Amino acid sequence: MSSSPTPAASAVPGSAAAPHVVEDCFGVVQLLSDGTVRRSTDYSVLPLVGGVPPDLPVEWKDIVYDETHGLRLRMYRPTTTGGAGEKNKLPVLVYFHGGGFCLASFEVINFHAGALRLAAELPALVLSADYRLAPKHRLPAALDDAESAFSWLRAQAAASPATDPWLAESADFGRVFVSGDSAGGNISHHISVRHGSGRLPLGPLRLAGCVMLWPYFGGQAPTPSEAASPPGEPMGTALFDQMWRLALPPGATKDHPAANPFAPGSVPLVDLGDAFPPVLVLDPDQDALHDRVADYVARLRAAGKPVELVVFPGQGHAFFVREPCGEASDELIRVIRRFVHGG
């Protein structure tokens, strides 16, 4: 699996140069010299080891949460949690997929498999949400879309009973968690900050926690683990840098607040109120982002924010996406279950 920048242009002699590819990310997304974006729906470049978990007692359906932009989410509900009634209500896990803000969807089989496991084994009502992708829709579009997803959920809770029957029957709106892997982990941070700063009021929802899987942060000064990432590493610094070029506003550096949560223009952690939720951070120690994630956790602690860090030895970036039924993913599910259910 590889990505490439700037192939050379080819032009017919005596004619104007035809648009050429200036960024090629796995062949899935190509940015042309005239600003055109080509996008494929073939995600076979994203390996799935072990397949989809078989026969999990989960039902799912797709819902439009933002009609203006045609954005959808997939709702997963376990079918073995008993009948109706408050005692059978489930925590709600709002999950945002990874992909460097440029790739993927909840429909990609890897993310579908992971959501099935989360719904069945936590158990929880899982809302796996799409958002607009770069480079056609550069940041902060994805962050704004995530805010729209929570505004939609808030409206559902305020309807009492919720308009959607699955939410009305099964959702515990007092236990809502924001979660995601990689870019989705970044989104989860920004949703928590927007809520903690008062920009995103959620009542009658209660944001009970934030679950971040190897959050995708950046910065101009490389960390030791980023600098040590081999040039050909499929999930390494070279790929992450390319995705930041595609995702950030034109001309922005990796010290843009959307990438670097401690850059100028970011909301200081000490200014966030009690609405900023407890945080669980899951960190593979072979990830090029390992040092940056450790620094993020240290800064949360220094600001007095409740945060738990769980390190997965020997694992790399996106291991749950690559192998959702592996042993490390089994432990990941156990860790999230403990955080969500409080024991």
Contacts of residue 175, Cβ cutoff 8 Å, sequence gap at least 6: 91, 92, 206, 208, 340
What is the domain partition of the chain in residue ranges?
A: 54-342
Q: Where are the beta strands (DSSP E) in 33-69?
A: 37-39, 58-66
The catalytic position among 137, 229, 287, 329 is: 287
Q: Tell me what percent of the chain is helix, strand and coil, each rounded to the nearest 5.
A: 30, 20, 50
3-state secondary structure at position 71: strand
* Total length of the chain: 343
Q: Are the CB atoms for 319 and 287 separated by under 8 Å?
A: no
Contacts of residue 132, Cβ cutoff 8 Å, sequence gap at least 6: 69, 71, 141, 142, 145
Q: What is the pLDDT of residue 343?
A: 62
Is the whole model's pTM more than 0.85, yes or no? yes
In the residue annotation, 329 being an active-site residue is answered as no
DSSP per-residue codes, 231-293: TT-TTSHHHHHHHHHHHSPTT--TTSTTT-TTSTTSPPGGG--TTSPPEEEEEETTSTTHHHH
140/146 Cα distance (integer angstroms): 10
Q: What is the pLDDT of residue 83?
A: 54
Q: Which tokens sit at 143? A: 């962050």
Q: What is the pLDDT of residue 284?
A: 98
The catalytic position among 182, 192, 229, 329 is: 182
DSSP per-residue codes, 3-39: -EE-PPP---TTSPPPP-EEEEETTTEEEETTS-EEE
- List the chain pLDDT tens, one digit each, 343 residues: 445 554 433 334 444 678 999 999 999 999 999 999 999 988 988 889 998 888 899 999 999 999 999 999 999 999 987 555 667 899 999 999 999 999 999 999 999 999 999 999 999 999 999 999 999 999 999 999 999 999 999 999 999 787 899 999 999 999 999 999 999 999 999 999 999 999 999 999 999 999 999 999 999 999 999 999 998 888 999 999 999 999 999 999 999 999 999 999 999 999 998 999 999 999 999 999 999 999 999 999 999 999 999 999 999 999 999 999 999 999 999 999 999 999 6
Q: What is the pLDDT of residue 160?
A: 78
Architecture of domain 54-342: 3-Layer(aba) Sandwich (3.40)
The residues pairing with 312 across neighbouring beta strands, listed in sequence order, are: 284
CA angle 55, 166, 159 (to 5 degrees): 165
The catalytic position among 128, 145, 317, 329 is: 317
In the residue annotation, 317 being an active-site residue is answered as yes
Nearest to 102 by CA among 215, 26, 179: 26
Q: What are phi and psi of 325, to 5 degrees?
A: -110, 15
Q: Which tokens sit at 1? A: 């699996």
In the residue annotation, 130 being an active-site residue is answered as no
